[in-house]
Structure 1
Amino acid sequence: MNQNKPMIIGNIPKLPGKYAAWILPLFLSGLMSGIISFINTVKNLGWIENLFSVFFSAWMMSWLVAYPIVLIVLPIVRKITGLLVDMSPNQPHK
């Protein structure tokens, strides 16, 4: 086994680059659904006693829906972005 492989933590190797298309939307949908779920839970219920239990339940349901939606919508958003933004590699950065 190659000892020079990049590791996440300890002896856990990093995933190959081909998995980035699945991992990026996983974290993006998790963070976005978590933030929105927390804001909506506090807005609708206030700072109640079991806030984090209610929030966590709402977040998991939201994430269950958000992840597949991001997987479907992300390629469309990339195409729209390509129509609006010049993605040439020789563009000067200001």
Structure 2
Amino acid sequence: MTLKTGRRKLPARYAAIVSPLVLSLLMTFIVSFISTLKSLGPQPDLPATWLTAWALSWLVAFPTLLLVLPAVRRIVGWLCEPATS
């Protein structure tokens, strides 16, 4: 499939990898910034320190999401009614 910009989309079979990839990138980006800022306070080398912390946290978060996502989906299915169309 092609987007309006002329770029091609990934096939649907990649969604199981792309979803935790995007989720882990966004979550670790935000959480590591807040954590680093709280620990060190505002300072000139905050961006470099934060990006190092973010990279390390993402290296842990992405594989963790890949491992736990099937269990999370089962738990959510157990807790929530299925969507009706």
| TM-score (normalised: structure 1) | 0.83
Per-residue displacement from partner, 1:6-65 (whole Å, max 9, x unpaired)?
A: 13854x311100001000100100111111100110000000111111100100110011
Identify if the C-alpha distance between structure 1 residues 62 and 79 changes in structure 2 by more than 3 Å, giving closer, same or farther: same
Residue equivalent to 2:13: 18
Which amino acid counterpart does residue 49 of structure 2 have in structure 1? V
Alignment-mate amino acid for residue 19 of structure 2: L
Q: Which runs of 5+ in 1 are unaligned?
A: none
Indicate the residue corresponding to 2:45 in structure 1: 50
How many residues get paired? 85
Distance 2:4 2:47 in 1: 29
State the alpha-carbon separation in 1 of the partners of residues 4 and 41 from structure 2: 38
1:85 deviation in Å? 0.5
Aligned residue in 1 for 2:29: 34
State whether structure 2 residue 14 is matched by structure 1 residue 7: no
Mapped contact 1:8–1:14 kept (Cα < 8 A)? no
Decide which structure has greater strand share.
1
User: Distance in 2 between the 1:77 and 1:57 partners?
Assistant: 28
Structure 1 distance, partners of 2:73, 2:36, is 31
Any gaps of 5 or more consecutive residues in structure 2? none
Rate the CA distance shift 1:9–1:58 in 2: closer, same or farther, 3 A: farther
Q: Larger Rg: 1 or 2? A: 1
